[in-house]
Amino acid sequence: MPNLTQNQWGAPRFRNSISILLIILLTSLFAGCAGTGSSTRGDDEVDAVDAAKKITQNKKKVEALIREVMDTVEVDDEASIRKGLDLYIEAAGLMDESVKLGINSIEPRLMRFEVRSKVANGYTALYAMADAQCTPLEDEGLRPSDELLRKRAEAKTEAQRWLKLARRDMETHLGTSPVQYQTPGQYWALQLIYVQLADFNGARTTLLRLVESHGQRLDPDFRREIDSRVRYFAQKLIDEDG
């Protein structure tokens, strides 16, 4: 399976087992506007240069935050995961601005896809924690506490919301960027998002697009895996209709 744009990570499902690696991609604040006065450059040129500088500065700050989160977040501790999620969400807001600053640039949107996916995975981990406490009680016919039920429902809702935001970023990239700026890993990441959303038609269509765009350059083993998944998703759709 090919790598994503920079890093590949597992995309957890809603299950009782908890397995999540929290890694933050981006954070910082965009401040200020292009200066006015006696510059010999045009305003558009000044804006473009300043925007590029800010995006570069943000990337460096983000790399430091990635190291911080990787060193401090405990994946089996709810409070630690929530702390990491706070950083992810801050990063996602900053990436909204980064995409606006680099409106004609591919990288900011792909980076936002990464961070949005990670936010979704963080909420999935919180869902799994709450579900692991709720399910045994429910299996015995007991009602979990309102607090546990609230946490589980909230985590699932937030995970799905961030998955949809990530999906939109990658769909936009693959739908508007020339094929030379696309990779098989990007299509693969998108179909994983669709699977997490239980949208098997979207997952199947994404893999068919991958074959159409990159079929001649795919590793034989990877191509077989794609074909197997396409058949599996087709069967899932038949079962759903059945």
Instruction: Give the model confidence (pLDDT) of 199-210 as tens digits.
Output: 999 999 999 999
pLDDT tier at 10, thresholds 50, 70, 90 = very low
| Cβ pair 58, 94 in contact under 8 A | yes
Q: Is 16 domain-assigned? A: yes
Q: What is the number of domains present in the chain? A: 1
Q: Is 24 domain-assigned? A: yes
What is the rounded radius of gyration, in angstroms, for the C-alpha atoms of the chain?
Answer: 21
Q: Which residues, other chains included, contact 124 with Cβ-Cβ below 8 Å and sequence gap of 6+?
A: 12, 13, 14, 20, 155, 159, 196
| Cβ pair 81, 130 in contact under 8 A | no
Q: Is 111 domain-assigned? A: yes
pTM above threshold 0.85: no
Q: Is 157 domain-assigned? A: yes
108/211 Cα distance (integer angstroms): 26
**3 pLDDT above the threshold of 70:** no
240/242 Cα distance (integer angstroms): 5
Q: Is 58 domain-assigned? A: yes
**125 pLDDT above the threshold of 80:** yes
Share of the chain above pLDDT 70, in %: 80
Distances (CA, A) of 156 to 86, 159, 168: 17, 5, 19
Q: Is 118 domain-assigned? A: yes
Task: Decide: residue 213, CB within 10 A, 0-12 exposed, 13-18 middle, 19+ buried.
Answer: middle
Q: Is 226 domain-assigned? A: no
Range of the domain at 83: 1-174
pLDDT for 14: 43
Q: Is 20 domain-assigned? A: yes
